[in-house]
Amino acid sequence: MLKRESALEIYNNHESSLHSGIKIQELQFSTKINLRGDLNDINFLSSINNVLNMSLPQEPNTYTIYENTKIIWLSPNEWLINEENENNKHKLLSELIHSVGSGKVSVTDVSENRTIIRISGKKIFKLLTKFLVLDFENNFSKVTSAAQTIFVKVPVLLVRIHAKNEEPMIDIFTNRSHANYIFTLLIDGSKNLHF
């Protein structure tokens, strides 16, 4: 039987590492569900609210959170549900599919397609500006901020994790095939950060 491996495990980069005061780690095997639906559909909204105990975020580039589950806004009719506890995935998927019915709604498990690289440290925004163009001061001013952008040539989703007055922490959602590329660039970029 094949052994299940995280995106960075084959490169031996899946464990937490510290570089110039910046912690970089892969969050392995979390649940990621792509959700599409119509915000004008009251049944759709109430169904999601009943299953997840929170409303869909309607403001661009934000997310809602309840316990260990986030709903991240991707577009006016698309969201990414991220649940840290993978053991809840099948139950969550089943409840979502059963709840929304067969209307114009899409519920897709994309857990194996993507991984999350979490970075934390006082200089992570300085590090990230080496690889992408984003006004962090404005785009990440809210605690529940998120942004879709390009990391060098790779599309990524960035999600702010830290609360106000906490050490900065960002989750980088990326496709598995790009994970090692991004991980390597982050490590290389952190080596010549000037503090």
For residue 82, what are the β-bridge partners?
32, 70
- Per-residue pLDDT averaged across 61-89, rounded? 93
Give me the mean pLDDT over the 74-85 stretch.
93
What are the CB-based long-range contacts (under 8 Å, 24+) for 1-4?
A: 4/29
User: 82: closest CA among 15, 157, 3, 142?
Assistant: 157
| Beta-bridge partner residues of 146 | 159
Contact 36, 53 (CB under 8 A): no
- Dist. CA 163–CA 131, nearest whole Å: 24
| Distance, CA of 75 to CA of 54 (rounded, Å) | 18
3 confidence band (pLDDT: 50, 70, 90): low
Q: How far apart are CA 154 and CA 178, in angstroms?
A: 7
Annotated domain spans of the chain:
9-28+113-191, 31-109
Please determine, for residue 2, whether its predicted confidence score (pLDDT) is greater than 70.
no
Average predicted confidence (pLDDT) for the chain: 89
Q: Is pLDDT at 37 greater than 90 in this prediction?
A: yes
Phi, psi angles (nearest 5°) of residue 124: -65, -30
Q: Which two tokens stand for residue 127?
A: 């590090």
pLDDT digits (tens, 9 = 90+) for 131-166: 998 998 888 999 999 999 999 999 999 999 998 889
d(CA 110, CA 80) in angstroms, rounded, equals 9
Nearest to 130 by CA among 83, 170, 187: 187
The CATH homologous superfamily for domain 31-109 is: Heterotetrameric sarcosine oxidase (3.30.70.1520)
Q: Residue 127: which pLDDT band, with cuts at 50, 70 and 90?
A: very high
Q: Indicate the CATH number for domain 9-28+113-191.
A: 3.30.1360.120
Closest by alpha carbon to 14, among 6, 3, 2, 22?
A: 6
37, 105 Cβ separation under 8 angstroms = yes
Closest CA to 77 of 123, 134, 35, 29: 35
Output the pLDDT for position 60: 96
